[in-house]
Amino acid sequence: MNPYGAALILLGVVIAQVALMPSAALGSAVPLLTLLVVVSWGYVRGPRQGMAWALAAGLLSDVMSPKPIGTYTLPLIAAALVVGLGSGRLADAIFMPAALTTLATIVFIAGQIVVLGLIGDIVDVRPAALVPTVLPTVLLNLLWLPIVYFPLRWLARRSGPPRLAWER
């Protein structure tokens, strides 16, 4: 894919995350659109492109967020690593995008907790405090996954390398 097109898509996704996703919240849980894009693109295009999208989306999210730099970039990169490790195994299984999304969401939230803890913010890490945050976020991400995954899969197939004539 053209790097300018990818940058435009990521900018649009980050703006949508900031402007629109809070209205799709379920209680205090907000769907993580940037995470879904990184997971979906990393799954359909491979770990290298997933990491590149995680870095770009994380930096854009950090710039637009009032939180300290690294609060989104580092957890998104960690989630992209999880996708990269998991996408090679059972790559054609129908449940794989959902399983990777679930795992990446947990890794992303844990990564944010670690980054905020290292910065000095007080974060409650008791299971009784985490479950009401993690579980609704995972469920929201799974509900939003088809809306993000299928268009990105289509885009990846359209923007992929040209095929040889006898491969069709």
Q: What is the per-residue pLDDT across 106-121, written as a single tens digit (0 to 9) for each? A: 999 999 988 888 887 7
Tell me if 143 is assigned to some domain: yes
Distance CA 167, CA 44 (A): 19
Is 85 a domain residue? yes
Tens of pLDDT, residue by residue over 38-76, are 999 999 888 899 999 999 999 999 999 888 889 999 999
Q: Residue 161 domain-assigned?
A: no
Total domains, the chain:
1
Asked whether residue 163 is domain-assigned, the answer is no
pLDDT (0 to 100) of residue 16: 95
Distances, alpha carbon 135 to alpha carbons 39, 92, 132, 165, in Å: 18, 26, 6, 47
Q: How confident is the model at residue 90 (pLDDT cuts 50, 70, 90)?
A: low
Label residue 26 by pLDDT band (50, 70, 90): confident
* Whole-number average pLDDT of the chain: 87
Residue 167 has pLDDT above 50, yes or no: no
Note the pLDDT of residue 92: 66
On whether residue 160 sits in a domain, the answer given is: no
Answer yes or no: is 162 within a domain. Answer: no
Does a structural domain hold residue 159? no
Residue 164 lies in a domain: no
pLDDT above 70 as % of the chain: 92
pLDDT band, very low/low/confident/very high, at 166 (cuts 50, 70, 90):
very low
Apex 124 CA angle, 131 and 38, nearest 5:
60
Read off the CATH number of the domain in which 37 is found. Answer: 1.10.1760.20
Amino acid in the structure at residue 73: T
Task: Summarize the confidence of residues 70-97 as an average pLDDT.
Answer: 84
| Structural domain boundaries enclosing 76 | 3-153
pLDDT of residue 13: 95
Helix axes of 3-19 and 47-64: crossing angle, nearest 10 degrees: 50
